[in-house]
């Protein structure tokens, strides 16, 4: 989960400083363009900030971001199981890491593993009742505390952002 912005007292001082630096570097390096670098930095800082905030909330429940995401994905399946590799894909984590995360979740009785009867290479992951409960309790808190920065955008801006980010993500194929 190499994704944290360190919680310094003043973690987001002036992005303008960083922007100036980017301008200067790109002016000096031929073949470089300021905007993609800037966008990359913005995305990085925002994603990092959101992750930090999520972790702050989840710490009270002894969960980390990935474990929580795994639980959410399972809630979304509505009782149907998921395989570890599904989780790896959905979360963007390595499969080895997903195995470890699942070990933790099983140890906390939030998840249970069962062999898949049709394909015996596979393991089916079922959400335990406590896991569902935990998501019910924590997701609204995440929404309120961690995701509050989105409230500073207007509805139009959020829709626009959603559309542009979807298009951008599509470009990774």
**1 vs 115 by CB, closer to a second copy:** 1
**103 vs 162 by CB, closer to DNA:** 103
Among 28, 121, 166, 167, binds DNA (CB under 7 A): 121
| Nearest C-alpha neighbor of 136 from the set 68, 84, 83 | 68
Q: At its nearest, how many Å lie between a second copy and the CB of residue 27?
A: 10
Give the interface segment with a second copy, choosing from 89-97, 105-113, 114-122, 123-131 (CB under 8 A): 89-97
**Separation between Cα atoms, residue 103 and residue 80, nearest integer Å:** 19
Rg (CA), the chain: 19
DSSP letter assigned to residue 150:
G
Contacts of 45 (CB under 8 A, 6+ apart): 5, 12, 15
Query: Could you list the residues that contact DNA (CB under 7 A)?
Result: 1-2, 4, 6-7, 9, 64, 66, 83-86, 93-103, 113, 116, 118-123
């Amino acid at each position: 989960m190499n994704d944290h912005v360190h919680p310094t007292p003043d973690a987001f001082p002036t992005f303008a400083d960083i922007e100036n630096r980017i301008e200067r570097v790109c002016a000096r390096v031929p073949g470089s363009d300021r905007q993609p670098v800037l966008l990359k930095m913005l995305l990085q800082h925002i994603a990092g900030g959101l992750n930090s905030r999520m972790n702050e909330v989840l710490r009270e429940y002894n969960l980390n971001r990935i474990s929580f995401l795994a639980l959410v994905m399972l809630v979304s399946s509505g009782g149907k199981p998921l395989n570890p590799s599904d989780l790896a894909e959905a979360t963007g984590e390595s499969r080895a890491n997903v195995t470890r995360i699942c070990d933790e979740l099983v140890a906390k009785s939030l998840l249970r593993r069962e062999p898949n009867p049709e394909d015996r290479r596979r393991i089916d992951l079922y959400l335990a009742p406590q896991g569902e409960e935990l998501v019910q309790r924590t997701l609204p808190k995440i929404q309120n505390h961690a995701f509050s920065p989105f409230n500073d955008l207007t509805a139009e801006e959020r829709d626009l952002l959603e559309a542009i980010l979807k298009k951008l993500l599509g470009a990774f194929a």
